Structure 1
Amino acid sequence: MSGFEHVLLERADGIGTITLNRPDKLNAFAARMPREVAEAVQELAEASDVRVIVVSGAGRAFCAGADIEYMERLVEANDVEAARALIDAGGEIVTTIRNTPKPVIASVNGPAAGGGANLALACDIRLASDRATIGQTFNRIGLHPDWGGTYFLPRLVGPSRALELIYTAEMVDAAEALRLGLFNRVVPHDRLAAETSALAATLAAKPPIALALAKRAVYESGDRTLPEMLDRELEHQLRCFASDDVREGLQAFLGKRPPVFRGR
């Protein structure tokens, strides 16, 4: 366990879990908390014993974005450097999530607003409680989306729907977020932890090389041509073909036993 004030960090069975831990403030970001999250994400991204990363929130919220009282103090003091540090930390967090070869799951247990929404959108997969809500609430207090919202949101829902969500700043309920593609799956609130653990365990048992290369290819495909992606698939497939994991997968299939992939 790392010594963070507002972040809980756990590792077990190949799964690293980051829990935003400021439940009395709906896990809203203030002061050093974004930096702690950035350090926690980086730690798990580099950890050799972690194959899957899970991000969730303590209490009844995932993350309410920036702490309003903290933001008011920054505005009153005209503390541009502290505001820049908050935004820069968010950029570092979402960039690390996107660049790590490991699958990253957001377990959205409640409201995800502003930067908290975009933290969830940065993750590869979003499992949500039926009590969860999500929204680009920035302009309610006169602000512009940050933490990658203008990048992730239109890629998920298209530019027109993204602008509608940004313009209205409405919180979308779980059913609508699922329909829009903001959430991958919605489950009963009391099943979220178990469903998240089951998915994380499933992914942790998968071949790490194949998953890492697939993540890279899918995210690269947005600005590539079909011929370029076919070349990338050939490159990645041959890398997998040469791995010990392929031999293990084939032998396990033929031997009618579960494979044990070691990422080699």
Structure 2
Amino acid sequence: MDYTDILYAEANQVATITINRPKVYNAFRPRTVVELLDAFLKAGWASDIGAIVLTGAGDKAFCTGGDQSDHSGQYGDGSTRGTVGMPVEELHSVIRDVPKPVIAKVRGYAIGGGNVLATICDLTIAGEGAIFGQVGPKMGSVDPGFGTAYLARVVGEKKAREIWYMCRRYSARQAMEMGLVNAVVPDDKLDAEVETWCAELVQRSPTAIAIAKKSFNADSDSIRGIGGLGMQALRLYYATAESQEGVKALNEKRPPRFRDFLK
């Protein structure tokens, strides 16, 4: 597959997948998700790859979720797949399913769907300037699967509800304190730190790691079914005026008036 939205590289038994849309803070459109799926499947089943790194281009953002300015299809011609117009649930599943540890290397913003990706990755390493958080209820959206239920397993029920209900921003240090991040280093040391973790990972037994990952996932895999049901509900929600008010308000640079649509 020819990539336009991501970069793919292999070195030292590590595959690095980079969302390459820095002008929109590495927000993803349908094509981006399809390319990410292809790259993860390529790296995830390559026998000479011991670890996968997911990151974003530039220093402003890891990923900021769905691109609200681009709802074109995966190939730019209107064609797409997925319950909500892009195969995000497939992407979440493939990150969990590939038998390799996936590290989220976070610079800048990990917001919305980007925060969900960082949560789902096996490990998350952040620069000190990284910012984490959710925006769903501010934008007329939500992640009704791994982004909510699995987040609660990572940071606890109370904190997960705070993250989603309040839509606040959290520093890298705060994210590490709540268990969302494994390590925080100065921004200029982030690449070297991730390389160090990867160098250790590729020395481990790949079969043992694959079994361990499957075992970890087995305990929370029921969330996949919950998410599938939730995505069907989300599709219906996106068609409502209440949901559409979020993007409309953003474009008009005003506070959203969601409650006007409860009548």
Residue of structure 2 equivalent to 1:196: 194
Matched-pair contact (CA < 8 Å) for 2:56–2:107: yes
Q: Which of 183, 205, 208 does residue 207 from structure 1 map onto?
A: 205
Matched-pair contact (CA < 8 Å) for 1:119–1:147: no
Distance 1:200 1:93 in 2: 22
Task: Go from structure 1 to structure 2 and tell me whether the alpha carbon gap of 1:164 and 1:37 turns closer, same or farther (over 3 Å shift).
Answer: same
Residue of structure 1 equivalent to 2:62: 62
**Count of aligned pairs:** 217
Q: Deviations over 1:15-41 (max 9, x none)?
A: 011011001111001241111111111
Matched-pair contact (CA < 8 Å) for 1:14–1:52: yes
Residue of structure 1 equivalent to 2:185: 187
Task: Return the letter of the residue paired with 1:201.
Answer: A
Stretches of structure 1 lacking an aligned partner (at least 5 in a row): 224-264
SS in 2 for 1:163: helix
Displacement after TM superposition at 1:86 (Å): 4.3
Displacement after TM superposition at 1:160 (Å): 2.0
Q: Deviations over 1:204-240 (max 9, x none)?
A: 11111111112222333458xxxxxxxxxxxxxxxxx
Q: Which of 100, 113, 134 does residue 98 from structure 2 map onto?
A: 100
Q: Which has the larger radius of gyration?
A: 1
Task: Return the letter of the residue paired with 1:195.
Answer: E
Task: Return the letter of the residue paired with 1:23.
Answer: P
Task: Return the letter of the residue paired with 1:204.
Answer: V
Moved more, 143-152 or 61-70: 143-152
Residue of structure 2 equivalent to 1:44: 43
Matched-pair contact (CA < 8 Å) for 2:82–2:89: no
Distance 2:108 2:144 in 1: 20
Task: Go from structure 1 to structure 2 and tell me whether the alpha carbon gap of 1:195 and 1:218 turns closer, same or farther (over 3 Å shift).
Answer: same
Q: What TM-score comes out, normalization by structure 1 length?
A: 0.76
Percent identity, please.
37
Q: Deviations over 1:84-107 (max 9, x none)?
A: 3544x2111111111121111110
Residue of structure 1 equivalent to 2:6: 7
SS in 2 for 1:69: coil
Q: Which of 142, 145, 162 does residue 143 from structure 2 map onto?
A: 145
Q: Deviations over 1:239-263 (max 9, x none)?
A: xxxxxxxxxxxxxxxxxxxxxxxxx
Displacement after TM superposition at 1:83 (Å): 7.5
Q: What TM-score comes out, normalization by structure 2 length?
A: 0.76
* Alpha-carbon RMSD: 2.4
Matched-pair contact (CA < 8 Å) for 1:65–1:114: yes
Moved more, 120-129 or 37-46: 37-46
Q: Deviations over 1:100-141 (max 9, x none)?
A: 211111101110111111111111000001011111211111
SS in 1 for 2:52: strand
Task: Return the letter of the residue paired with 1:41.
Answer: F
SS in 1 for 2:23: helix
Matched-pair contact (CA < 8 Å) for 1:34–1:86: no
Distance 1:13 1:109 in 2: 22
Aligned positions of 1:150-161 closer than 5 A: 150-161=148-159
Distance 2:211 2:199 in 1: 19
Distance 1:68 1:222 in 2: 30
Residue of structure 2 equivalent to 1:35: 34
Distance 2:144 2:6 in 1: 21
